[in-house]
Amino acid sequence: MILMRLIDSHCHLDYNRNRKDIDEVISRAKSNNLVAIITCTIDKKIDQVKLLIKKYNNYVFHSLGLHPPGYTKESVKYIKKLILENSNSIVSIGEVGLDYHWVKNEKDRKYQEIAFREFIKLSKKINKPIVVHSREAEKEAIDILEDENASNVLMHCYSGPVELVKRIINNNWLISVPTSVVNRKIHQKIAIECPLKNMVIETDSPFLSPDKEKNEPYKVIFAAKKISELKKIGLNKVADETTANAIKFYSLPL
Ligand SMILES: [Zn+2]
C-alpha cells in the first residue's frame, strides 16, 4: 500500500474554531495523512502560533502576513518589523495583497498597493516566498507581482478569472485550490485549467468548509478527491504532486 501524503498549504489555526480544540485538530490531521500544516497569521497577534510551531516542530509551519483590509501605515510597519524579527522561524510572508471586495475607496486601494509592493520587496530581501490574497483584484495583484519581478509566489484561494490562470502558470507561480472546490464552480474551472505542477491545496480553515461542519486541516483530502475527479487523475498522484509542490515552495524540512 502506498501511503498518501497531504499538506494543508494555508489555514488559520489561531482562529476560534480551530483554536478551541487545537490538539485534536492536529491529531486528526496526523491520522488523516497530513505531513504538514501551514498556518497563517494575519494580524499582530502571533504569540499563540509561535508556541504552536514549537510544540509541533516540523509539522506546523508559520506564514506571517497581514490581511489587506487591515492595512494602515502603522500596522504595515509593525508587521514588517515582526517579519524581520521572525525571519528564521517563518516559512513565508503572507497572506498579503489586495482586497477590493472590502476596500472600496480609491485612497485606501492606493495604499494597499504601496504596502503590497513593500511586502514583495521584503520577501525578496529575506528570501522567503510570498502568499498572495487577491480578492476582486486578481489582475491588479498579478500586474504588481510581475512589475516587482516576484518569482516565488502562491496565489492563495485563487478565485478567478480563469483567463488569468495562464499568466500565473507562465510566471511559474502556484495556485492554491481550497476545499470549497467541492461545491464552487469557479474553483472547479480553475482546478481543471491549472496543471498539477502549478497546484497546491488548502483548507483556509476555519473558512471555506467543504461541508456543513467547521473546516479544519484534515479536510484538505476533500479538495484532493475533487481535483482527482475533475482532472481524471489518480488521487495518489494529486496528493503526491501537490505535496511535493508545497514542500518545495515553503522549503519544508520534510
Ligand atoms: Zn486565509
Residue 187's pLDDT is: 97
The pLDDT of residue 251 is 98
Residue 240 CA to ligand 1 center (angstroms) comes to 23
pLDDT (tens digit per residue) in 121-173? 999 999 999 999 999 999 999 999 999 999 999 999 999 899 999 999 999 99
Low-confidence ranges of the chain (pLDDT < 70): 1-2
Q: What is the pLDDT of residue 216?
A: 95
Q: From the CA of 94, how far away is ligand 1's center (Å)?
A: 9
Distance 229 CA to ligand 1 centre (A): 25
Q: What is the pLDDT of residue 196?
A: 98
Taking the centre of ligand 1 as the mean of its atom positions, its distance from the CA of residue 68, in whole angstroms, is 11
The residues whose Cβ lies within 5 A of ligand 1, an ion, are 204
Which residues in 126-143 are b (16+ Cβ under 10 Å) and which e?
Answer: eebbbbbbbbebbebbbe
List of domains in the chain: 6-250 (3.20.20.140)
pTM, rounded to two decimals: 0.96
